[in-house]
A and B are shown apart, each in its own frame.
Chain A
Amino acid sequence: MKQPYERPTLRKLTAGALHKFGPRAGAAPTAALDGVAVAELVARFGSPLFVLSERQLRRSYQAAVRAFGTRYPAVQLAWSYKTNYLNAVCRTFHQEGAWAEVVSGMELEKALLNGVPGPHILFNGPGKRRTDLEQACAVDAVIHLDNADELHLLLDVAAGRATRPRVALRVNLDAGIYPQWDRFGFNLENGEAWQALGRVVASGRLALVGLHCHIGTYVLQPKAYGVAATKLAALARRCGRELHTAIQYLDLGGGFPSTNTLKGAYLPAADTVPPLDEYAEAITGALLGAGFPADELPLLVLEAGRALVDDAGSLIGSVLANKRLADGRRATILDFGVNLLFTSFWYDHHISPTREFSDQTEPTVLYGPLCMNIDQLRNSIALPLLAPGDTVVVHKVGAYNMSQWQQFINLRPNVVMIDEAGAVHIIRAAETLDYLQQLERVPAHLLP
């Protein structure tokens, strides 16, 4: 019997590269996902392959509900559709009790088709068209007003309706973090939000039911949410006092981080990202201390996306080729690139081999298969000596990749979900050239 082969390689020893995390960080193999062997998944569904864990989806949702629900009496999660709007994912969260947070007419339709009752749909987004507003009014979704033009357009739409459309005001505010997001909604500090609230109530054509803010994305300071909650609660109380309008819910938006490591971060995110409980503590502490009578506490709505879905997604891929760059660095070409892993622009994704290797690793540049210079997945990662045909798993890719992916140069692959019993289901089939071309039309003069 012959010995297993591993290509001959050298590694330059540099004292400065030693650190407390050890030489094999990231190289421990991931041979199975939710108990299903990676090799079996690739054999059945091909490579690359997105894999979603239904168990982890539910676990993350329940953990979020627990974090907030054990601290505050009335909590509602609204699943952020844009984060991953594959129907199987949305329906898993809706089964758990999530409402839908949508940001376009298309997402609104998707939520309705997924069986979400209109009143349980929160319609955010800065670019709502008249038809979107009419559809939202027709199903009694709550429209989160983003700007004055939209407010006046909705007043126009509402003029001919028997019932008043329900609205919430999107508010941007200074929560003490940089950058301060001010492109969504009406500003609090300069009085714009209060002016808009006055106009909504005075119109008599809209029912003001909520206040909303979304302070940022991947926000690492729980205290910022506490500041936002305090300011939003004060605004709600002022609505009660001066506009005689009881605010039914406060929506603190999303932006909670996952444990993916941002590019340029010195320490891994697992060591630096605060647990969701700290965000829950900051928000609920602020609301409970805001002076609402105990029986008039507003419903707390959260639009979690990334924090619910990132951990549940994995991407399996294969090594197509290895090469050496001009400066001697090793480069490995994988069968997926930034076309599928959009988040590699933001994160240094954790990537694992799927079988045992020796302790040898080599600093490697990871490229995708696109004929584009930007198609680089990791600038430097310590990986074992992968050979063509070896597979890898990219962890925590559930957020944004399956909605921001591009059909570019290659077709998009299968997406499967492993259910809680371990059965594997295709939830989005691999694209075909026919699918890609079915919407194209060739003018007659270009036909043979």
Chain B
Amino acid sequence: MKLKPNIATSEAGFIFNPATGDSFAANPLAADILARAKAGLDAAAIKADILERYDVAPGQLEKDWDDLLAQLRDFNLLGEAESEHQKVT
């Protein structure tokens, strides 16, 4: 999961796209995921950490992970390669 390089994010979950002027609010878990992705963690590591800390079944997390990617894609926030090839891992 790689956001476009120009996307600004804050710890509180505020996301800003300077190219379009669009801004977004991420809920706490989405903000956490984006922060870890920005720090360079890969998807498997982020998911393992979530399963460790949160009360969620692996299957549910996978569904929600796909949905988050769909939202990022829909909002035009994903990096080019990620967006075009729709990588989900």
Contact indicator B55/A5 (Cβ below 8 Å): yes
Asked whether any CB of chain A lies closer than 8 Å to the CB of B15, the reply is: yes
Interface centre among A5, A322, A324, A360 (most CB of B within 10 A): A5
* Chain A interface size range: 10 to 19
Residue of B nearest to A387 (CB): B60
Contact status B28-A2, CB under 8 Å = no
**A7 and B64 in contact, given A13-B24, A324-B70 (Cβ under 8 angstroms):** yes
Tell me whether B89 is interfacial, beta carbon within 8 Å.
no
Q: Which of A6, A11, A328, A387 contacts B25 (CB 8 A)?
A: A11
- Flag if A385 contacts B53 (CB, 8 Å): no
Name the distance in Å between A271's Cβ and chain B's nearest Cβ: 28
Task: Give complex CA distance A13, B24 in Å.
Answer: 5
Q: Across the interface, which residues of A come within 8 angstroms of B24, CB to CB?
A: 10-13
Interface residues of B in 41-89 (CB under 8 A from A): 53-56, 60, 64-65, 67-68, 70-72, 74-75
Instruction: Give the 9 A-B CB pairs with smallest separation, nearest first.
Output: A8-B30, A328-B74, A5-B56, A7-B64, A2-B55, A5-B54, A360-B27, A8-B29, A13-B23
Q: Contact check, B55 vs A3: say whether CB atoms are below 8 A apart.
A: yes
Q: Is the CB of B27 within 8 A of A9?
A: yes
Q: Are A358 and B55 in contact (CB under 8 A)?
A: no
* Interface residues of B, Cβ cutoff 8 Å to A: 15, 22-30, 32-33, 53-56, 60, 64-65, 67-68, 70-72, 74-75
Q: Is the CB–CB distance between A328 and B71 below 8 Å?
A: yes
A-B contact pairs, 9 of them (CB 8 A): A5-B54, A7-B29, A8-B27, A8-B33, A9-B30, A9-B67, A12-B23, A324-B70, A358-B28
- Nearest-CB distance from B7 to chain A (Å)? 12
B14 to chain A: closest CB distance in Å?
8
Closest chain B residue, CB of each to CB of A15 = B23
| Min CB gap A433→B, angstroms | 32
Q: Kindly list chain A residues whose C-beta atoms are within 8 Å of the C-beta of B72.
A: 10
Distance from B58 Cβ to chain A, minimum over Cβ atoms (Å): 12
- Check B68–A9 contact: CB distance below 8 A: yes
Chain A positions within 8 Å of B, measured between CB atoms, are 2-13, 322, 324, 328, 358, 360, 385, 387
Rounded to whole angstroms, the CA-CA distance of A360 and B27 in the bound complex is 7
Min CB distance, A280 to chain B, in Å?
47
Q: Does A4 contact B29, Cβ atoms closer than 8 Å?
A: no
Cβ contact of A9, chosen from B15, B23, B26, cutoff 8 A: B26
Measured between beta carbons, the chain B residues less than 8 angstroms from A6 are 27-29
Cα distance, A8 to B33, chains bound together (Å): 8
For the complex, what is the distance from the CA of A9 to the CA of B71, rounded to whole Å?
8
Structural contact, B64 and A10, CB atoms closer than 8 A: no
A3 with B54: CB separation less than 8 A: yes
A11 to B70, CA, bound (A): 13
Chain A hits for B30, CB < 8 A: 8-10
Q: Report the bound CA distance from A3 to B67 in whole Å.
A: 21
Q: Who on chain B is nearest to A329 by CB?
A: B74
Cross-interface CB contact of A2 among B54, B68, B74, cutoff 8 Å = B54
Contact A10 B54 (CB under 8 A): no
Across the interface, which residues of A come within 8 angstroms of B71, CB to CB? 9-10, 324, 328
User: With A324-B67, A324-B71 known to touch, is A10 a contact of B53 (CB < 8 Å)?
Assistant: no
Query: Residues of A contacting B54 with CB < 8 Å?
Result: 2-5
Residues of A within 8 A of B65 (CB): 8
Residues from chain B with a CB closer than 8 A to the CB of A3 are 53-55
Measured CB to CB, the closest approach of chain A to B53, in angstroms, equals: 6
Chain B residues contacting A4 (CB-CB under 8 Å) are 54-55
The closest CB in chain B to the CB of A1 belongs to B55
Set of chain B residues within 8 Å of A2, measured between Cβ atoms: 53-55
B26 CB contacts on chain A under 8 angstroms: 8-11
Nearest chain A residue, comparing its CB with the CB of B25: A11
Nearest Cβ on chain B to A231's Cβ, whole angstroms: 57
When distances are taken between beta carbons in the complex, the residues of chain A under 8 Å from B75 are 10, 12, 328
**Contact across chains for A10 and B29 when beta carbons are under 8 A apart:** no
Are B55 and A8 neighbours in the complex by a CB distance under 8 Å? no
Q: Nearest CB to that of B57 among chain A residues? A: A5
How far is B29's CA from A328's CA once the two chains are assembled, in angstroms? 19
- Could you say which residues of chain B place their CB within 8 Å of the CB of A13? 22-25
Asked if B33 and A10 sit within 8 Å, CB to CB, the answer is no
